[in-house]
Amino acid sequence: MTPQTPTTSGAFVPGPDDGVTAAAVDAYLARIGADRPTRADIEALRDLQHRHLLAVPFENLSVHLGEDIVLEERALVAKVTGGRGGFCYELNGAFGALLRALGFRVTLLQARVFGDGGRLGIPYDHMALRVETVDGTGPWLADVGFGDNALWPLALDDRADQEDPRGVFRLRQAPQGDLDLLRGGSRQFRLDPRPRTLPEFRGGAWYHRTSPDSHFTRSLVCSRFTETGRVTLSGRTLVTTVGGDQHRTELVTDEEVLAAYRDHFGVRLSRVPRLREALVSQGPDAGR
């Protein structure tokens, strides 16, 4: 494979070959503060998922910055090593590539998210990962791209309650061989266990990037777990959650917003993202 070379920002530029290079893996592990595991077992998987959720934010900033979302492994890994996050397709796509490079067996799975009134979203609404380890445990459901979800991987074949620092989860049989993921008895998404490939998610990513019916086009969010809760920047509102307590701060200036992205999420931007609908209403030159 052709090695990647670092840019001045510390990100690695993808080479012409498929897959993830050793240099990119090292940069990825450095981003999440993890050592290279000696064995692709459940302990390593749990540590990697935990660290990923603490370090890499769930964010939809590309939608509102007019950036392309490229569902190719090298591009996804380069985005994470360059200091950004993403939404489910990007985060789980990149995390899956990292896990494969570290010796895990990874399968991409599609899911439909439950919305208001129990209504299911579109096919390929969400991407999750089926992960097999070398220690004979699992298979595991790993997910670093579903907002306030499990901190640790969940056992895919277990139908009993599974305790996690983020609550009690359960996988329940659903029609046509699918599985419903429940958190505290509330349905989160319906998982299709059939293997998928990265290009199959392009339609879902396009929908969530462009459709006025997608919540990603109607909101700005950047959020990650912390050791004590969660920190979220929604538009200009910074919300810090510790246990059951929330502290909200309204950011007034663009400088305050950019500093919050940098200091709380490690995301360095040259301009403040603005809602797509606001840009449309102000004309083609708005936000430039």
Mean pLDDT, the chain, rounded, equals 90
pLDDT in tens, 230-265: 999 999 999 999 988 999 999 999 999 999 999 999
Q: What is the mean pLDDT of residues 190-216?
A: 96
- Report field, pTM of the whole predicted structure over 0.85: yes
Helices (H) and strands (E) in the chain, counts: 8, 15
Strand runs labelled E in 99-217: 105-113, 126-132, 140-142, 154-155, 162-164, 167-173, 179-183, 186-196
pLDDT at 287 over 80: no
| Domain match, 123 and 180 both | yes
| Domain match, 137 and 262 both | no
pLDDT in tens, 91-127: 999 999 999 999 999 999 999 999 989 999 999 999 9
pLDDT at 130 over 80: yes
| Domain match, 229 and 155 both | no
| Domain match, 165 and 118 both | yes
How far CA 268 is from CA of 82, 160, 180, 208, in Å, comes to 10, 42, 37, 23
Q: What is the mean pLDDT of residues 125-146?
A: 97
Q: Is residue 213 part of a domain?
A: no
| Domain match, 116 and 241 both | no
| Domain match, 240 and 125 both | no
Q: Predicted confidence band at 147 (pLDDT cuts at 50, 70, 90)?
A: confident
pLDDT at residue 18 in the model: 54
Q: Predicted confidence band at 285 (pLDDT cuts at 50, 70, 90)?
A: very low
- Distance of alpha carbon 211 from alpha carbon 200, whole angstroms: 18
Q: What is the mean pLDDT of residues 35-64?
A: 98
What CATH number is associated with residue 90?
A: 3.30.2140.20
- Name the residue range of residue 235's domain: 221-272
- Distance of alpha carbon 177 from alpha carbon 155, whole angstroms: 17
**Structure-block tokens of residue 118:** 């129990």
Q: How many domains does the chain have?
A: 2
